Amino acid sequence: MTDKRILVLTASIGSGHIKAAEAVRQELQQLWPEAQITTVDFMARETSCLHWLMKKIYLQMLAFVPNLYDVFYKVSGGASGGSLVQGAFAAVMQPVFVSLLRRYQPDLVICTHPFPEGAASWWKRRHHSQLPLAVVMTDYSLHQIWLYPKVDCYFMATETMKRQMLARGFAEDSLWAAGIPIDQRLQHIEGKEVLRQHLSIPQDQPAILLMGGGLGLGGIETTLLELEQLPQRLTLLVVAGRNERLLQQGLAFAQVSHHLVKVWGYTEQAHELMKASDLLITKPGALTISEAFVLGLPMLLHDPIPGPETENAVYATRHGAAVWLHPGEKLAPAVAELLANGDLPAMGQRASACGRPLAAHAIAQTIVHFMRACDELNQPKL
């Protein structure tokens, strides 16, 4: 197979789509070292000021209207409503996709977010193009927002999602239930005791990790105040992400708490902190859940963004890997019960059973085989 140019399009709305793109890129580069692989954030300012402004407005509105995504999620979920909403976004984002095509001239486009996927699908239909298009879904439930024509390879998290797509008329040879791609380094992290020693985490008391994704969302400051009510001394590991205000709040809280509180901003040690912990308290982002599955880390899930994060919470709790704290339920008693009833090890085992550590490799391998088949058929790419 001759050298190819691959364009991976993702979106910095949270960190999950970026992480999935990077995991697939790393595996593709190992399997296909001669390929030229470029990853572009479709919502970055340097890509498009309009896209960046749309993202900024959305994130600001989300802080005041938490069910904003739920409204969009439901509106775009119906057959007619979904097509209308999807078509509008695809049309608005079309010029940027065309600009990226001209700049990178790819032989293959991979999308880990529905916005660039929609623009790519719309362009392929308009130009009757055979440009290979692969889509990596980053949710644990199927939704119309991911479903477009002219997609050659769909990768989804579960067999249930695959069956649902088959029922909607998608071709079976375009569907792979590979799992959500995560960093392959998670398989090679050191053991819990060694990591605790390196991170100065006591071996003899429960370690609870608080995460809110790359944006530091999820009411972590409120969680800290609630955990302060527990008399048992805990080690609280706080990852504030890029949320500077939360970072400063966490550092201030560490000075007065009777727990041992250790605080990080955006850190490359997040996976090590997960492995070193006994329990993860977090919003149910799909990539965070997928990483916790592979690491065998039990979860206490709260404050999902209505829509796909709610479905992620349903998936994790249904499989016994997490407890979902619903509105009105108190966090401190839930944590106390989990620590007291001794169920955390069993939850960890159930989490591991859900893990798909080789998802990124399987996706990359399938893409390489698909491109080889395209070469053998000598199909034009543009």
Query: C-alpha angle with apex 219: 215 to 223, nearest 5 degrees?
Result: 130
Do 49 and 123 share a domain, yes or no? yes
Query: C-alpha angle with apex 353: 352 to 356, nearest 5 degrees?
Result: 80
Give pLDDT, residue 36: 96
Q: pLDDT averaged over the chain?
A: 88
Do 117 and 258 share a domain, yes or no? no
Pair 360, 27: CB distance under 8 Å: yes
DSSP state of 146: G
Give pLDDT, residue 3: 82
What totals of helices (H) and strands (E) does the chain contain, helices first? 15, 12
Quick check: is 306 in a domain? yes
Do 213 and 197 share a domain, yes or no? yes
> Over its length of 382 residues, how does the chain's per-residue pLDDT go in tens digits?
568 999 999 998 877 899 999 999 999 999 999 999 999 999 888 888 877 787 776 666 555 555 555 555 555 555 444 566 677 778 778 889 999 999 999 999 999 999 999 999 999 999 999 999 999 999 999 988 899 999 999 999 999 999 999 999 999 999 999 999 999 889 889 999 999 999 999 999 999 999 875 444 457 888 999 999 999 999 999 998 878 888 899 999 999 999 999 999 888 899 999 999 999 999 899 999 999 999 999 999 998 877 788 999 999 999 999 999 988 889 999 999 999 998 999 999 999 999 999 999 999 999 999 999 888 776 544 4
Where do we find the tokens 């909403």?
A: 85
Q: List Cα–Cα distances, 372 to 2, 121, 215, in angstroms.
A: 9, 22, 39
Quick check: is 317 in a domain? yes
Do 125 and 216 share a domain, yes or no? no
Residue type, 15: S
Do 208 and 345 share a domain, yes or no? yes
DSSP H or E segment with residue 38 = strand 36-41
Do 14 and 117 share a domain, yes or no? yes
Do 295 and 343 share a domain, yes or no? yes
- Residue 243 domain boundaries: 187-354
Quick check: is 382 in a domain? no
Give pLDDT, residue 93: 84
Do 114 and 194 share a domain, yes or no? no
Provide the token pair at 113: 């977010």
Quick check: is 337 in a domain? yes
Pair 297, 275: CB distance under 8 Å: yes
Give pLDDT, residue 382: 41
Q: What are phi and psi of 11, to 5 degrees?
A: -150, 130
Quick check: is 300 in a domain? yes
Query: What is the per-residue DSSP string for 263-287?
Result: EESS-TTHHHHHHH-SEEEE---HH
Listed in sequence order, the residues at least 6 apart from 55 whose beta carbon sits closer than 8 Å to its beta carbon are 11, 12, 13, 43
What's the N-to-C CA distance of the chain in angstroms? 18
CA dist., res. 2 & res. 16, Å (int):
32
Quick check: is 138 in a domain? yes
CA dist., res. 175 & res. 221, Å (int):
41
Do 115 and 46 share a domain, yes or no? yes
DSSP H or E segment with residue 375 = helix 359-377
Query: C-alpha angle with apex 114: 72 to 155, nearest 5 degrees?
Result: 125
CB contact burial 364-377 (16+ within 10 A = b; e otherwise): bbebbebbeebeee
Give pLDDT, residue 214: 47
Do 260 and 364 share a domain, yes or no? no
Pair 271, 183: CB distance under 8 Å: yes
**Number of domain units in the chain:** 2
Q: Is 58 helix (H, G, I), strand (E, B) or coil?
A: helix
CA dist., res. 180 & res. 76, Å (int):
22
Angle between helices 114-127 and 79-104 (to 10 degrees): 80
Quick check: is 28 in a domain? yes
Residue 163 CB neighbour total at 10 angstroms: 13
CATH number at residue 225: 3.40.50.2000
Do 363 and 284 share a domain, yes or no? no
Do 14 and 158 share a domain, yes or no? yes
